[in-house]
Amino acid sequence: MKHALLRLLAAGVVALTLGVSGLATAQTIERTERHAVRVRILTRGLEYPWSLAFLPDGRMLVTERAGRLRYVAADGTLDPTPISGLPEAVAERRQGGLHDVVVHPRFAQNGLVYIAYAGKGAGGHGTELARGRLDGHRLADVEVLFRALPKSWGGRHFGGRVVFDGKGHVFLTLGDRGDRPRAQDPGDHAGSVIRLTEDGGVPRDNPYRSVAGARPEIYTLGNRNIQGAAIHPRTGELWTHEHGPQGGDEVNVIRAGVNYGWPVITYGRNYGIGTRIGGTHKEGMAQPLHQWTPSIAPSGMAFYDGDRFPGWRGNLLVGALKFRLLARLELDGERVVREERMLKGVIGRIRDVRVGPDGYVYLLSDESNGVIARLEPAGG
C-alpha cells in the first residue's frame, strides 16, 4: 500500500511538471468579432508583473511588483538575473511596489529608462518617478525626478503609469491613496495626473504652477486611481482609465486643469452597502468619456495602430483584472461606439497591455506565477 501511494505521488509530480513545462509554450485559438487570435504564452514564472517595455534590440523589460526589473529575450526567455541599481526607496506595500517601466523616446541615443514605484520615506509611502541609464544588468546614474507628497501609510491607490507625450513632457498618474478628499486638494499630489519635463522640471504652462498653495506639478485633479494611460496616435492627447468603487470605472481624455470629479461625482457606489457617493454631475467637473458599471477593474491600455490586426486599427484595448478579460473599444472621435469583451479567463487578471514594435499585442497577467502572453493573428 505504501509503495502504491508513493507511485501515485510520483505520478502527480510528473504530471504537474509536464503541465508547468507545457504552459511555457502553450497556445490557444480564440475567436473574436474581427479576428481569430492565437494566444501564445511567451514567459511564465513572473511574480505579479506590472509593466512591460520594448528595447531596440528586441528584448523586453518587465517589472515585478516586489521590486525586480528583469530582461526578457525576444523569444520569451526570462533572464534569471534582475537588473540592479534601482532606488533603495522602492518598497512593496499591498497594491504598491515597482510599477511602470518606460524607455525614453530617444533610448537608442541616451539609454534612459524611467520607472514609477511606491517609495518609502518620512511619513510612509508615496509614488515616485526615477530614471537611470541602462548599463547591462544595472541602472547607472539613477536620479529621482519626482516624489508624491505628502506620503501616507495606506497600501492602496498608487496609480503608477508613465507616458511621454513626444513634446518634451512626461506624465505620471497618481491615486488618491485610499483617502478620498485628497483628490480635490491642489496642495496634495494624491488623486491627480502629474506633468513634468523629461528631466523632472515643472513645465511653464502647467495649470497650477502659479496658484498659491498648489503643487505646481499637478496637471489634473479628481482622479481616483489611474492604472492605464496612453497617447492617442492621431491627436497626441493623453487618454486614461481609472478604477471606480463598485462601479464607475472611467475612460477620460486628460486636459490641463480639468477636474475629473472624484469623490464629488462618480457612477460608483460604496463597497458592500451600495450607497451613493456624492452625485453623478456637477458644473465644472468633467463627465467620463466612457464608464463601466459594474466595475471591470481596468489596468493597462493601448491604442492599436499596427498591421497584424487591421480590424482593430484605431481601437482602444483595455485590460481587466476583475473579469480577467481584454476589452476592445471602438471609437468615433471621443465617443465609444462599441465594446467587445475578449479572452475572458484565458490568461487570468490582465495587468498590462502593450502593442509591440512587431504589431503584436502583449499582455501581462497579475498573478503570483504571472505570464507574458502575445496575441497573434490565427487566420481563418
Distance CA 240, CA 337 (A): 17
Nearest to 83 by CA among 100, 102, 103, 61: 61
Q: State the catalytic residue, choosing from 35, 99, 125, 157.
A: 157
Nearest to 231 by CA among 290, 162, 291: 162
Tally helices (H) and strands (E) across the chain: 2, 24
List, in order, residues 6 or more apart from 136 with CB less than 8 Å away: none
Nearest to 185 by CA among 172, 195, 174: 174
> What are 53's three cell numbers?
517595455
List, in order, residues 6 or more apart from 141 with CB less than 8 Å away: 132, 133
Distance CA 197, CA 199 (A): 5
List, in order, residues 6 or more apart from 262 with CB less than 8 Å away: 176, 180, 183, 184, 191, 222, 223, 224, 242
Backbone torsion region of residue 85, taken as left when φ is above 0, otherwise alpha when ψ lies between -120 and 50, otherwise beta: left
- Name the E strands within 245-342: 249-254, 290-292, 298-303, 316-320, 325-332, 335-342
Active-site annotation holds for 35: no
Element (H, E) at 12: helix 2-24
DSSP state of 19: H
Nearest to 325 by CA among 260, 359, 373: 373
List, in order, residues 6 or more apart from 97 with CB less than 8 Å away: 48, 50, 64, 65, 66, 67, 90, 91, 117, 118
Per the document, the length of the chain is 380
Written as one letter, the residue type at 142 is V
Which residues are tagged catalytic?
Answer: 157
